[in-house]
Amino acid sequence: MAAVLCQFGKITCLTGEVPEQTCSSAVACRDVGEGREQEAEASPARIAARRRYYQMIFCNDRVSAMTKAAAEDYAFYPAVPGEESFLQEVIEGLSRQPRSIPPKYFYDRRGSHLFESICEQPEYYPTRTETALLKQYAGEIATVAASDCHLIEPGSGSCGKVRHLLDALQPAAYVPVDISCEFLEKSAAGIADDYPWLDVHAVCTDITDEVSLPFIPEQADAVMFYPGSSIGNFDPEDARAFLACLATITGAGGGLLIGVDLKKDADILDAAYNDANGVTAAFNLNLLRRINRELAADFDIGAFAHHAFYNSASGRIEMHLISERRQTVNVGGQTFEFCAGDSIHTENSYKYTIDEFQALARQAGFAPCRVWSDNDDLFSLHYLQVA
């Protein structure tokens, strides 16, 4: 049994057999019950493929034992929380110039809910546009992606978008992977409830550090689903490395269905990241609330302001938190001085043309297969195959 570790934080990829000593334990997970087999009307080949899939090994310190209670309906692999790295990354980020904090730390419980709310704001077109594309083209997507595939969704969040695909695609298994354990557990349970024929294996881990699945499916095609234009939150060099990791995990015969936000009029972009209800501002400022709570810091949240704008030269939206006055902040025993106007850079959201994105994907080892976009050319959905 092979496992995959793909670490693109350091821009390296590893794959292959995992030596015995690196595995904390070898566990054969639940078998498929007779009732579920009948429910799914699965063919013998499909059942056999699923049975193989259950032979899993835990081979990563960060993935501990499967939660027993959840195992009745779906498998859950919680990561060991990385609080040390949170503190370290915040201290490092505030110590450098320009100051920055990685956007992955937006997504505590409140941040995940605020992001869901952003997606419903009238100015934030990506979610509704991509959802319309998924609904409209689910049938076509199912013709290019292998049915009975193992559908892996890095950064799965609420698992909302995948719902538009599942009936058409009929994957053998769904593997949501997310950094927010609590949110993931709830979302995965919802999918398991609503799609009783589907095998769900939720993995809580930080995909911006490493993509480490405790298993890979054997003799089954893996299809990655990476919607929402989250690829835009990586700098292009890291995006290329991340895509290359996905290609490595997916392997020959696999594919990637990915949503990519398109370059467009700056006014539309600026509005999308400065919604009138102030939800994006609350989402951005929540990062400081989280740091105060989890790292015993003392940011005065009222003394920082949300600032987002389209940087056309770089082809990206930039989000910042701007200090509104001179102030001193303590984090983890260290002191940071801010002048009025000083920024903490919290996120980039790169926008691509279809050609630019396909060129990036090619460099990462994918061959463009199909692309769908809306009539206003706001958003694109690409199906790529491992070249």
Residues that bind ligand AVI (CB under 6 A): 118, 228-230, 232-233, 273, 280, 347, 349
Could you tell me the smallest distance in angstroms from the CB atom of residue 211 to ligand AVI? 17
Tokens matching residue 344: 């903490």
Nearer to ligand AVI by Cβ, of 175 and 317: the residue is 317
Q: What are phi and psi of 42, to 5 degrees?
A: -80, 150
Could you tell me the smallest distance in angstroms from the CB atom of residue 366 to ligand AVI? 19
- Counted residue by residue, the chain has a size of 387
CA–CA separation, 20 and 303 (whole Å):
53
Could you tell me the smallest distance in angstroms from the CB atom of residue 229 to ligand AVI? 5
Nearer to ligand AVI by Cβ, of 108 and 199: the residue is 108
By beta carbon distance, the residue nearest ligand AVI is 349
Nearer to ligand AVI by Cβ, of 149 and 179: the residue is 179
Could you tell me the smallest distance in angstroms from the CB atom of residue 204 to ligand AVI? 18
Tokens matching residue 170: 């009929």
Could you tell me the smallest distance in angstroms from the CB atom of residue 118 to ligand AVI? 5
Could you tell me the smallest distance in angstroms from the CB atom of residue 109 to ligand AVI? 16
Answer whether 136's CB lies under 8 Å from 301's CB: no
346 alpha carbon, distance to own chain's centre: 17
SS3 content of the chain, % helix, strand, coil (to 5): 40, 30, 35
Nearer to ligand AVI by Cβ, of 150 and 351: the residue is 351
Question: What single DSSP character describes residue 355?
Answer: H
Tokens matching residue 52: 């193989």
CB-hemisphere CA count at 13 Å for 2?
15
Nearer to ligand AVI by Cβ, of 230 and 250: the residue is 230
Answer whether 232's CB lies under 8 Å from 350's CB: yes
Could you tell me the smallest distance in angstroms from the CB atom of residue 176 to ligand AVI? 15
> Among 307, 334, 329, 328, which residue's Cα sits nearest to residue 318?
307
Nearer to ligand AVI by Cβ, of 129 and 280: the residue is 280
Q: How many other CB atoms are there within 10 angstroms of residue 254's CB atom?
A: 25
Question: What single DSSP character describes residue 96?
Answer: S
> What is the rounded end-to-end Cα distance, in angstroms, of the chain?
24
Nearer to ligand AVI by Cβ, of 291 and 308: the residue is 308
CA–CA separation, 336 and 313 (whole Å):
31
